[in-house]
Structures are given as C-alpha cells and as structure tokens.
C-alpha cells in the first residue's frame, strides 16, 4: 500500500479532517492534502511519526538495502 493511501485510511478511521492533522503537526493544509493525493512522496519521518501517534498507529519502514527498520514510537498496533 502506498503511503498516501495509508495516511488517508488512518485519518478517516479517526474521523479527522486533513486540516485537523495539518494543524496539529504544524504544516500547511495544502501540503498534507498533497501527501494524501500522492503528489509528493517526500514526507519527513518526524511528520509521519506525529501522524501515527495522533491516529494511534505504529508505522514501520523497512530499508531493504541496509536491512534496517525505522519505526514510530511503540503504540498499540492496529491492522489497516
């Protein structure tokens, strides 16, 4: 699943608006909208971490090249 679809899915499950999330993490609402629309794939991990925390999710990214995992804080894991 692409990051833009994940962001939209978890936001909608929490019944939040794009404006709500963008305000909480301190970005422009049109920037967040671009993320959900897939117009940009460059999203800072810190911002993804904040979104995951707001929506009670743990997100993991696997870097196959050097076999490392970046993860958000330990939050109760939920399936998408």
Q: What average pLDDT values come out for the chain (80 residues) when binned by 10 residues?
A: 82 92 93 91 82 80 60 46
Instruction: Please tell me the distance from the alpha carbon of residue 39 to that of residue 13, in angstroms, as a whole number.
Output: 22
Q: What pLDDT is recorded for position 80?
A: 38
- Kindly state the tokens that stand for 32: 């967040």
CATH C-level class of 3-71: mainly alpha
The vertex-35 CA angle with 31 and 36, nearest 5°, equals 120
Q: What pLDDT is recorded for position 1?
A: 60
Instruction: Please tell me the distance from the alpha carbon of residue 61 to that of residue 45, in angstroms, as a whole number.
Output: 10
Residue 60: strand pairing partners: 71
What's CA 9's distance to the chain center, in Å? 10
Q: What pLDDT is recorded for position 29?
A: 92
Instruction: Please tell me the distance from the alpha carbon of residue 28 to that of residue 63, in angstroms, as a whole number.
Output: 29
């Amino acid at each position: 699943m692409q990051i833009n679809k994940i962001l939209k899915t978890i936001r909608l499950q929490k019944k939040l608006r794009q404006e709500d999330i963008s305000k909480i993490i301190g970005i422009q609402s049109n920037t967040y909208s671009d993320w959900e629309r897939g117009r940009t794939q460059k999203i800072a991990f810190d911002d993804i971490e904040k979104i995951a925390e707001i929506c009670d999710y743990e997100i993991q990214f696997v870097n196959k090249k050097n076999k490392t995992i970046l993860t958000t804080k330990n939050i109760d894991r939920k399936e998408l």
